[in-house]
Amino acid sequence: MVEQLLTTKKRFELPELRTIGGATIRDLAVGYETYGALNEARDNAILVAHYFSGASHAAGRYRPEDPLPGYWDAIIGPGKAVDTIRYFVISSDTLVNFNAHDPNVITTGPASLDPATGKPYGLSFPPVAIADFVRVQRALIDSLGIAKLRAVMGPSMGGLQTFEWAAAYPEMVERIIPVIASPHFTGWLTAWMTIWTEPIRLDPDWRGGAYDRSASPRAGLEAAIRAMTLHGLQSAWSWSAGGRASAEGADPADIAASPFAIDRTLADGARARVPLADANHMLYLARANQTFIPGAGAGAASLAEGMARIKAPTLLIHAPDDLVFRPEWVEATAATLRGQGVAVESATLSGPFGHYNGIVQIAQASDRIADFLARAI
């Protein structure tokens, strides 16, 4: 019988964070989880950074009766690719976490109370960057007495954080595993993220970000989640969601309605997420991704400057039919790193889920991940 991995949410507090934009955030808190044990030498730690709409619940369950484990449970746990008998795994919630109202998430962002006013920050919360997420992680890692990470890894936005770690703190990162992510994205993705979030700004209940939680822009947030979800999937997935069929009892001639089965599937999924998510947090997350430059936390001002700072051996894992971080961008990242002498390996994931193959199909890369982590560098 496979041992069930159980975990608890921990809280990390930072009295003050100076963002790369020059703002100061006080009384900051984020949640984190750990799996396995830190060895005496403190050299077996692996940091896992989460994706855009995810949280630190990367593996295991909080309670044995929980219906689902963490998102990467297929590869994190005793005897798995990221073996928690051998490694100490850390995963933390980001600032401005998408799931700001989930009781299992601890984050600081626009929905948090400003200690100076006692009211939610709203859009007075300073803009934050991926580099700021990593600065908080660095403070957490320091608080645990860890001087060097055996690896940093993560999917999508977690992959961007992985590149930031390698560029901003090269002396602390032994190797990296970015999954379904690339710093070489174009304005095409920038524009897509604006499309994801535009329904929030168009919802009259958004009120320029100054909404009350009891009257939040739910319709706009639901539409935003639907746009994000569909972009992350691939057309083959649509057959499992009804294909082109009409929903039961729907009339395709009703122009005022959304009568198709796939629309209902997306709407039901989005509606389930709205109570735990926050609209302003989604806007801040999108901007942090849109403005990403690796090594920004160390002063890098361009993609080329940031990439030049990366020295860590790299295992790039991507999905060839990914419509979010397209394969040609991942290939450009591999070419850039190889061109500056970095040891780069790659692996691919297949399945009908497009970008989301990096989460739900990650077990396909188990052997590659296990070998890469175990190898002496």
Residues recognised as catalytic: 156, 322, 355
Of residues 271, 283, 336, the one with CA closest to residue 310? 336
> Which residues does 292 contact at the CB level (< 8 Å), separation at least 6?
129, 130, 160, 164, 183
Q: Token pair for residue 170?
A: 């090269």
Q: Computed from CA positions of residues 192, 195, 201, 205, in that sequence, does the dihedral angle turn out positive or negative?
A: negative
Please say whether the beta carbons of 334 and 342 come within 8 A: no
Q: Token pair for residue 357?
A: 């193959």
Strand partners, 69: none
> Which residues does 232 contact at the CB level (< 8 Å), separation at least 6?
323, 324, 354, 355, 356
Strand, coil or helix: 236: helix
Please say whether the beta carbons of 59 and 35 come within 8 A: yes
Q: Token pair for residue 316?
A: 């790039």
